[in-house]
Structure 1
Amino acid sequence: MHSDNLSKQINFIKEIDKIKYIQRRTKLFNSNRHENDAEHSWHLAMMAIVLAEHSNTPIDILKVIKMVLIHDIVEIDTGDVFLHDTTLNHTNTEAETIAAKRIFGLLPQEQAEELISIWEEFEAGQTNEAKFAKSMDRFEPLLQNASNQGGTWAEYNVSYDKVFDTAKGIKKGSETIWNYTENLLNESVEQGIL
Protein backbone atom coordinates (compact mmCIF):
# COMPACT_ATOMS: atom_id res chain seq x y z
CA MET A 1 0.00 0.00 0.00
CA HIS A 2 2.62 2.54 1.02
CA SER A 3 4.91 1.63 -1.85
CA ASP A 4 2.02 2.07 -4.30
CA ASN A 5 1.23 5.50 -2.80
CA LEU A 6 4.89 6.46 -2.87
CA SER A 7 5.21 5.41 -6.49
CA LYS A 8 2.20 7.53 -7.46
CA GLN A 9 3.51 10.51 -5.45
CA ILE A 10 6.95 10.28 -7.10
CA ASN A 11 5.32 10.11 -10.53
CA PHE A 12 3.34 13.26 -9.69
CA ILE A 13 6.49 15.01 -8.45
CA LYS A 14 8.26 14.15 -11.71
CA GLU A 15 5.29 15.31 -13.79
CA ILE A 16 4.97 18.71 -12.11
CA ASP A 17 8.63 19.46 -12.87
CA LYS A 18 7.26 20.41 -16.29
CA ILE A 19 5.76 23.58 -14.78
CA LYS A 20 9.29 25.02 -14.79
CA TYR A 21 9.13 25.08 -18.60
CA ILE A 22 5.89 27.06 -18.84
CA GLN A 23 6.95 30.60 -19.70
CA ARG A 24 4.84 33.58 -18.73
CA ARG A 25 4.72 36.89 -20.57
CA THR A 26 5.72 38.85 -17.48
CA LYS A 27 9.37 39.28 -16.67
CA LEU A 28 11.23 39.05 -13.39
CA PHE A 29 11.57 42.28 -11.42
CA ASN A 30 13.92 44.70 -13.17
CA SER A 31 14.85 42.05 -15.71
CA ASN A 32 14.56 41.04 -19.34
CA ARG A 33 14.06 37.36 -18.44
CA HIS A 34 10.58 35.90 -18.57
CA GLU A 35 9.23 34.29 -15.43
CA ASN A 36 8.17 30.65 -15.51
CA ASP A 37 5.10 29.23 -13.77
CA ALA A 38 7.15 27.58 -11.01
CA GLU A 39 8.82 30.87 -10.12
CA HIS A 40 5.47 32.63 -10.22
CA SER A 41 3.84 30.09 -7.91
CA TRP A 42 6.75 30.19 -5.44
CA HIS A 43 6.65 34.00 -5.40
CA LEU A 44 2.90 34.01 -4.73
CA ALA A 45 3.38 31.60 -1.83
CA MET A 46 5.98 33.90 -0.28
CA MET A 47 3.80 36.94 -0.90
CA ALA A 48 0.85 35.21 0.78
CA ILE A 49 2.94 34.44 3.86
CA VAL A 50 4.36 37.96 4.09
CA LEU A 51 1.14 39.84 3.25
CA ALA A 52 -1.43 37.64 5.05
CA GLU A 53 -2.04 40.30 7.71
CA HIS A 54 -3.57 42.49 5.00
CA SER A 55 -6.33 40.02 4.12
CA ASN A 56 -9.81 41.49 4.51
CA THR A 57 -10.80 38.48 6.61
CA PRO A 58 -9.07 35.81 8.69
CA ILE A 59 -7.68 33.11 6.39
CA ASP A 60 -6.21 29.64 6.58
CA ILE A 61 -2.75 30.55 5.28
CA LEU A 62 -1.77 26.93 4.62
CA LYS A 63 -4.75 26.58 2.29
CA VAL A 64 -3.82 29.83 0.52
CA ILE A 65 -0.26 28.55 0.06
CA LYS A 66 -1.58 25.29 -1.37
CA MET A 67 -3.81 27.25 -3.75
CA VAL A 68 -1.08 29.46 -5.14
CA LEU A 69 1.39 26.58 -5.43
CA ILE A 70 -1.00 24.42 -7.45
CA HIS A 71 -3.18 26.96 -9.29
CA ASP A 72 -1.14 26.93 -12.51
CA ILE A 73 -0.18 23.23 -12.58
CA VAL A 74 -2.91 22.71 -15.20
CA GLU A 75 -0.84 24.86 -17.56
CA ILE A 76 1.49 21.88 -18.00
CA ASP A 77 -1.21 20.62 -20.37
CA THR A 78 -2.96 23.83 -21.42
CA GLY A 79 -0.14 26.38 -21.53
CA ASP A 80 -0.23 29.85 -20.02
CA VAL A 81 -2.96 32.23 -21.14
CA PHE A 82 -1.83 35.84 -21.02
CA LEU A 83 -4.09 37.82 -18.67
CA HIS A 84 -4.68 40.55 -21.26
CA ASP A 85 -5.12 38.21 -24.23
CA THR A 86 -7.88 39.53 -26.47
CA THR A 87 -8.62 36.22 -28.20
CA LEU A 88 -8.54 33.66 -25.37
CA ASN A 89 -10.62 33.68 -22.22
CA HIS A 90 -8.59 33.71 -18.99
CA THR A 91 -11.18 31.76 -17.02
CA ASN A 92 -11.48 28.12 -16.11
CA THR A 93 -12.00 26.07 -19.23
CA GLU A 94 -12.92 22.49 -19.94
CA ALA A 95 -9.30 21.88 -20.98
CA GLU A 96 -8.06 23.08 -17.59
CA THR A 97 -10.49 20.80 -15.76
CA ILE A 98 -9.33 17.84 -17.84
CA ALA A 99 -5.72 18.79 -17.10
CA ALA A 100 -6.42 19.07 -13.35
CA LYS A 101 -7.99 15.63 -13.27
CA ARG A 102 -5.14 14.09 -15.26
CA ILE A 103 -2.25 15.67 -13.37
CA PHE A 104 -3.65 15.54 -9.83
CA GLY A 105 -5.07 12.13 -10.69
CA LEU A 106 -1.51 10.77 -10.72
CA LEU A 107 -1.60 11.01 -6.92
CA PRO A 108 -3.24 8.53 -4.54
CA GLN A 109 -7.01 9.11 -4.61
CA GLU A 110 -7.32 11.02 -1.33
CA GLN A 111 -4.54 13.47 -2.23
CA ALA A 112 -5.85 13.82 -5.79
CA GLU A 113 -9.32 14.68 -4.52
CA GLU A 114 -7.93 17.22 -2.04
CA LEU A 115 -5.83 19.05 -4.64
CA ILE A 116 -8.58 19.03 -7.26
CA SER A 117 -10.94 20.46 -4.64
CA ILE A 118 -8.44 23.18 -3.67
CA TRP A 119 -7.81 24.01 -7.34
CA GLU A 120 -11.58 24.25 -7.98
CA GLU A 121 -11.99 26.45 -4.89
CA PHE A 122 -9.29 28.80 -6.18
CA GLU A 123 -10.87 28.94 -9.62
CA ALA A 124 -14.33 29.70 -8.18
CA GLY A 125 -12.84 32.56 -6.12
CA GLN A 126 -15.65 32.61 -3.55
CA THR A 127 -13.99 31.66 -0.24
CA ASN A 128 -11.87 34.04 1.83
CA GLU A 129 -8.77 31.96 1.00
CA ALA A 130 -9.49 31.98 -2.73
CA LYS A 131 -10.13 35.72 -2.75
CA PHE A 132 -6.80 36.38 -1.04
CA ALA A 133 -4.94 33.88 -3.26
CA LYS A 134 -6.39 35.52 -6.37
CA SER A 135 -5.35 38.92 -5.01
CA MET A 136 -1.76 37.69 -4.86
CA ASP A 137 -2.06 36.28 -8.39
CA ARG A 138 -3.20 39.67 -9.72
CA PHE A 139 -0.80 41.74 -7.61
CA GLU A 140 2.51 40.11 -8.54
CA PRO A 141 2.48 40.92 -12.30
CA LEU A 142 1.48 44.51 -11.53
CA LEU A 143 4.58 44.89 -9.38
CA GLN A 144 6.68 43.25 -12.08
CA ASN A 145 5.36 45.48 -14.87
CA ALA A 146 5.87 48.62 -12.79
CA SER A 147 9.48 47.55 -12.16
CA ASN A 148 10.04 46.96 -15.89
CA GLN A 149 8.99 50.32 -17.35
CA GLY A 150 5.52 49.00 -18.12
CA GLY A 151 6.56 45.47 -19.06
CA THR A 152 3.70 43.65 -20.76
CA TRP A 153 1.48 46.74 -20.53
CA ALA A 154 3.81 48.56 -22.90
CA GLU A 155 4.80 45.50 -24.94
CA TYR A 156 1.18 44.57 -25.73
CA ASN A 157 -0.28 48.09 -25.64
CA VAL A 158 -2.62 47.30 -22.75
CA SER A 159 -4.77 50.26 -21.71
CA TYR A 160 -5.07 51.66 -18.21
CA ASP A 161 -8.78 50.75 -18.20
CA LYS A 162 -8.04 47.10 -19.03
CA VAL A 163 -5.31 46.87 -16.37
CA PHE A 164 -7.54 48.56 -13.80
CA ASP A 165 -10.46 46.28 -14.65
CA THR A 166 -8.43 43.08 -14.19
CA ALA A 167 -6.65 44.42 -11.09
CA LYS A 168 -9.77 45.51 -9.19
CA GLY A 169 -10.41 41.92 -8.08
CA ILE A 170 -7.55 42.46 -5.63
CA LYS A 171 -10.04 44.43 -3.52
CA LYS A 172 -12.01 41.23 -2.76
CA GLY A 173 -9.01 39.78 -0.92
CA SER A 174 -7.38 42.89 0.48
CA GLU A 175 -8.56 46.50 0.56
CA THR A 176 -5.10 47.52 1.79
CA ILE A 177 -3.29 45.94 -1.15
CA TRP A 178 -5.93 47.32 -3.52
CA ASN A 179 -5.24 50.86 -2.21
CA TYR A 180 -1.54 50.28 -2.82
CA THR A 181 -2.34 48.96 -6.30
CA GLU A 182 -4.45 51.98 -7.22
CA ASN A 183 -1.58 54.27 -6.21
CA LEU A 184 0.87 52.12 -8.18
CA LEU A 185 -1.30 52.30 -11.30
CA ASN A 186 -1.72 56.07 -10.99
CA GLU A 187 2.04 56.49 -10.54
CA SER A 188 2.60 54.28 -13.59
CA VAL A 189 0.33 56.57 -15.64
CA GLU A 190 2.22 59.64 -14.37
CA GLN A 191 5.52 58.00 -15.37
CA GLY A 192 4.14 57.23 -18.83
CA ILE A 193 4.57 53.47 -18.50
CA LEU A 194 0.83 52.72 -18.49
Structure 2
Amino acid sequence: MISKRLMKDIEFIVELDKMKSILRQTSLINEDRREDDAQHSWHISIMAMVLGEYSNEKIDICKVIKMLLTHDLVEIYAGDTFCYDKKGNEDKKEREIKAAEKIFGILEEDKGKQFRELWDEFEEGETAEALFAASMDRLQPMLNNYNNDGGTWRKFNVSKEDIYKRIEPVKKSSDQLWEFVESMIEDGARKGLIQH
Protein backbone atom coordinates (compact mmCIF):
# COMPACT_ATOMS: atom_id res chain seq x y z
CA MET A 1 0.00 0.00 0.00
CA ILE A 2 1.30 3.46 -0.93
CA SER A 3 1.94 5.56 2.15
CA LYS A 4 0.29 8.90 2.81
CA ARG A 5 3.77 10.40 3.24
CA LEU A 6 4.85 9.29 -0.23
CA MET A 7 1.65 10.64 -1.76
CA LYS A 8 2.30 14.03 -0.14
CA ASP A 9 5.88 13.99 -1.46
CA ILE A 10 4.60 13.26 -4.97
CA GLU A 11 1.96 16.01 -4.69
CA PHE A 12 4.71 18.47 -3.69
CA ILE A 13 6.94 17.38 -6.59
CA VAL A 14 4.08 17.75 -9.10
CA GLU A 15 3.27 21.21 -7.70
CA LEU A 16 6.90 22.27 -8.23
CA ASP A 17 6.44 21.91 -11.99
CA LYS A 18 4.71 25.31 -11.81
CA MET A 19 8.17 26.86 -11.27
CA LYS A 20 8.76 26.35 -14.99
CA SER A 21 5.98 28.80 -15.83
CA ILE A 22 6.94 31.61 -13.43
CA LEU A 23 8.70 34.11 -15.69
CA ARG A 24 11.30 36.48 -14.33
CA GLN A 25 12.25 39.86 -15.82
CA THR A 26 15.77 38.69 -16.70
CA SER A 27 16.27 37.46 -20.26
CA LEU A 28 18.41 34.53 -21.24
CA ILE A 29 21.80 35.60 -22.58
CA ASN A 30 21.65 36.31 -26.31
CA GLU A 31 17.98 35.31 -26.53
CA ASP A 32 14.81 37.35 -26.63
CA ARG A 33 13.18 35.12 -24.03
CA ARG A 34 12.78 35.62 -20.30
CA GLU A 35 14.10 32.96 -17.95
CA ASP A 36 11.75 31.08 -15.65
CA ASP A 37 12.22 30.37 -11.94
CA ALA A 38 13.34 26.78 -12.53
CA GLN A 39 16.07 27.89 -14.93
CA HIS A 40 17.19 30.57 -12.48
CA SER A 41 17.31 28.14 -9.55
CA TRP A 42 19.33 25.62 -11.56
CA HIS A 43 21.77 28.27 -12.77
CA ILE A 44 22.50 29.77 -9.36
CA SER A 45 22.95 26.31 -7.84
CA ILE A 46 25.60 25.47 -10.45
CA MET A 47 27.16 28.90 -9.85
CA ALA A 48 27.48 28.06 -6.14
CA MET A 49 29.25 24.80 -6.99
CA VAL A 50 31.69 26.62 -9.26
CA LEU A 51 32.22 29.78 -7.19
CA GLY A 52 32.00 28.38 -3.64
CA GLU A 53 35.77 28.39 -3.28
CA TYR A 54 35.72 32.22 -3.37
CA SER A 55 33.67 32.56 -0.19
CA ASN A 56 35.52 34.48 2.52
CA GLU A 57 34.26 31.95 5.07
CA LYS A 58 34.18 28.18 5.00
CA ILE A 59 30.70 27.20 3.85
CA ASP A 60 28.67 24.02 3.53
CA ILE A 61 28.12 24.13 -0.23
CA CYS A 62 25.42 21.42 -0.11
CA LYS A 63 23.41 23.59 2.28
CA VAL A 64 23.91 26.61 0.00
CA ILE A 65 22.60 24.61 -2.96
CA LYS A 66 19.58 23.42 -0.95
CA MET A 67 18.78 27.05 -0.11
CA LEU A 68 19.14 28.09 -3.74
CA LEU A 69 16.83 25.32 -4.91
CA THR A 70 14.30 26.18 -2.20
CA HIS A 71 14.26 29.97 -1.91
CA ASP A 72 12.04 30.73 -4.93
CA LEU A 73 9.52 27.89 -4.45
CA VAL A 74 7.22 30.41 -2.78
CA GLU A 75 6.91 32.22 -6.11
CA ILE A 76 4.60 29.44 -7.29
CA TYR A 77 1.92 31.26 -5.28
CA ALA A 78 3.45 34.69 -4.60
CA GLY A 79 4.75 35.29 -8.13
CA ASP A 80 8.14 36.77 -8.97
CA THR A 81 8.58 40.32 -7.74
CA PHE A 82 11.11 42.28 -9.78
CA CYS A 83 13.84 43.39 -7.41
CA TYR A 84 13.72 47.03 -8.58
CA ASP A 85 9.90 47.29 -8.38
CA LYS A 86 9.41 49.47 -5.29
CA LYS A 87 5.61 49.13 -5.27
CA GLY A 88 5.68 45.35 -5.78
CA ASN A 89 8.19 44.92 -2.98
CA GLU A 90 5.98 46.67 -0.41
CA ASP A 91 3.95 43.52 0.33
CA LYS A 92 6.40 40.91 -1.00
CA LYS A 93 7.41 39.56 2.41
CA GLU A 94 3.79 39.11 3.50
CA ARG A 95 2.85 37.35 0.22
CA GLU A 96 5.87 35.09 0.38
CA ILE A 97 5.31 34.04 4.01
CA LYS A 98 1.75 32.96 3.12
CA ALA A 99 3.10 31.13 0.07
CA ALA A 100 5.77 29.39 2.18
CA GLU A 101 3.12 28.11 4.56
CA LYS A 102 1.11 26.79 1.63
CA ILE A 103 3.87 25.15 -0.44
CA PHE A 104 5.80 23.61 2.45
CA GLY A 105 2.49 22.66 4.10
CA ILE A 106 1.91 20.12 1.33
CA LEU A 107 4.62 17.93 2.83
CA GLU A 108 4.47 15.94 6.05
CA GLU A 109 5.27 18.19 9.00
CA ASP A 110 8.88 17.08 9.54
CA LYS A 111 9.86 17.44 5.88
CA GLY A 112 7.94 20.69 5.45
CA LYS A 113 9.76 22.05 8.50
CA GLN A 114 13.16 21.23 6.93
CA PHE A 115 12.26 23.13 3.76
CA ARG A 116 10.83 26.04 5.72
CA GLU A 117 13.96 26.29 7.86
CA LEU A 118 16.12 26.51 4.72
CA TRP A 119 13.82 29.17 3.28
CA ASP A 120 13.79 31.17 6.53
CA GLU A 121 17.58 31.00 6.84
CA PHE A 122 17.98 32.29 3.28
CA GLU A 123 15.50 35.12 3.91
CA GLU A 124 17.21 36.15 7.16
CA GLY A 125 20.60 36.23 5.40
CA GLU A 126 22.66 35.98 8.57
CA THR A 127 24.65 32.74 8.17
CA ALA A 128 27.66 32.41 5.87
CA GLU A 129 25.67 29.95 3.74
CA ALA A 130 22.66 32.26 3.43
CA LEU A 131 24.88 35.19 2.54
CA PHE A 132 26.70 33.22 -0.15
CA ALA A 133 23.40 31.89 -1.50
CA ALA A 134 22.05 35.46 -1.70
CA SER A 135 25.24 36.45 -3.51
CA MET A 136 24.61 33.84 -6.20
CA ASP A 137 20.95 34.87 -6.45
CA ARG A 138 21.98 38.50 -7.03
CA LEU A 139 25.01 37.85 -9.24
CA GLN A 140 23.28 35.68 -11.85
CA PRO A 141 20.83 38.36 -13.14
CA MET A 142 23.71 40.85 -13.19
CA LEU A 143 25.74 38.54 -15.41
CA ASN A 144 22.75 38.21 -17.73
CA ASN A 145 22.15 41.96 -17.84
CA TYR A 146 25.81 42.73 -18.46
CA ASN A 147 25.94 40.16 -21.26
CA ASN A 148 22.60 41.31 -22.74
CA ASP A 149 23.52 44.88 -23.59
CA GLY A 150 22.13 46.11 -20.27
CA GLY A 151 19.01 43.91 -20.20
CA THR A 152 16.65 44.93 -17.41
CA TRP A 153 19.07 47.64 -16.27
CA ARG A 154 18.36 49.51 -19.48
CA LYS A 155 14.75 48.44 -19.86
CA PHE A 156 13.82 49.83 -16.42
CA ASN A 157 16.44 52.63 -16.20
CA VAL A 158 18.06 51.11 -13.12
CA SER A 159 20.64 53.37 -11.51
CA LYS A 160 24.18 52.34 -10.64
CA GLU A 161 23.41 53.16 -7.00
CA ASP A 162 20.46 50.72 -6.97
CA ILE A 163 22.58 48.00 -8.58
CA TYR A 164 25.28 48.42 -5.94
CA LYS A 165 22.66 48.24 -3.20
CA ARG A 166 21.13 45.09 -4.67
CA ILE A 167 24.46 43.27 -5.04
CA GLU A 168 25.67 44.11 -1.52
CA PRO A 169 25.59 40.47 -0.24
CA VAL A 170 28.56 39.73 -2.53
CA LYS A 171 30.58 42.44 -0.76
CA LYS A 172 29.93 40.69 2.56
CA SER A 173 30.61 37.16 1.37
CA SER A 174 33.53 37.27 -1.09
CA ASP A 175 36.32 39.77 -1.60
CA GLN A 176 37.30 38.20 -4.93
CA LEU A 177 33.77 38.14 -6.32
CA TRP A 178 33.21 41.70 -5.09
CA GLU A 179 36.25 42.89 -7.03
CA PHE A 180 34.77 41.23 -10.14
CA VAL A 181 31.32 42.73 -9.50
CA GLU A 182 32.72 46.24 -9.08
CA SER A 183 34.66 46.00 -12.33
CA MET A 184 31.57 44.68 -14.15
CA ILE A 185 29.31 47.47 -12.85
CA GLU A 186 31.83 50.20 -13.61
CA ASP A 187 32.45 48.79 -17.08
CA GLY A 188 28.70 48.55 -17.64
CA ALA A 189 28.34 52.21 -16.65
CA ARG A 190 31.16 53.23 -19.02
CA LYS A 191 29.49 51.33 -21.86
CA GLY A 192 26.13 52.99 -21.17
CA LEU A 193 24.44 49.78 -19.99
CA ILE A 194 23.64 51.44 -16.65
CA GLN A 195 22.35 54.94 -16.03
CA HIS A 196 24.53 57.10 -13.77
Judge conservation of contact 1:104–1:112 (CA < 8 Å) in 2.
yes
TM-score norm. by structure 1 comes to 0.96
Q: Report Cα offsets for 1:92-130 as digits up to 9, x if no partner.
A: 612211111111111121110000001000000000100
Shift of 1:166: 1.1
Q: Which amino acid aligns with 2:187?
A: E
Judge conservation of contact 2:81–2:92 (CA < 8 Å) in 1.
no
Q: What are the ranges of 5 or more consecutive residues in structure 2 without an aligned counterpart?
A: none
Q: Which amino acid aligns with 2:156?
A: Y
Matched residue SS, 1:5: helix
Q: What does residue 27 of structure 2 align with?
A: 27
State yes or no: 1:119 paired with 2:122: no
Shift of 1:89: 1.9
Q: Which amino acid aligns with 1:143?
A: L
Judge conservation of contact 2:132–2:169 (CA < 8 Å) in 1.
no
Shift of 1:29: 1.4
Matched residue SS, 2:19: helix
| Distance in 1 separating the partners of 2:82 and 2:15 | 23
Q: What does residue 57 of structure 2 align with?
A: 57
* Paired residues for 1:4-153 under 5 Å: 4-89=4-89, 93-153=93-153
| Distance in 2 separating the partners of 1:51 and 1:91 | 32
| Structure 1 residues 99 and 10: CA distance shift in structure 2, 3 A | same
| Structure 1 residues 31 and 90: CA distance shift in structure 2, 3 A | farther
Q: Report Cα offsets for 1:17-73 as digits up to 9, x if no partner.
A: 101110000011122110000000000100000111001101111110010001011
Superposed CA RMSD in Å reads 1.4
Judge conservation of contact 2:135–2:173 (CA < 8 Å) in 1.
yes
| Distance in 2 separating the partners of 1:8 and 1:101 | 15
| Distance in 1 separating the partners of 2:59 and 2:101 | 26
* Paired residues for 1:147-166 under 5 Å: 147-166=147-166
Shift of 1:180: 0.3
Q: Report Cα offsets for 1:131-158 as digits up to 9, x if no partner.
A: 0000000100100000100000000111
Judge conservation of contact 1:83–1:90 (CA < 8 Å) in 2.
no
| Distance in 2 separating the partners of 1:148 and 1:59 | 31
Q: Which amino acid aligns with 2:165?
A: D
Shift of 1:178: 1.1
Q: What are the ranges of 5 or more consecutive residues in structure 1 without an aligned counterpart?
A: none
Aligned pair count reads 194
TM-score norm. by structure 2 comes to 0.95
| Structure 1 residues 52 and 90: CA distance shift in structure 2, 3 A | farther
| Distance in 1 separating the partners of 2:51 and 2:169 | 16
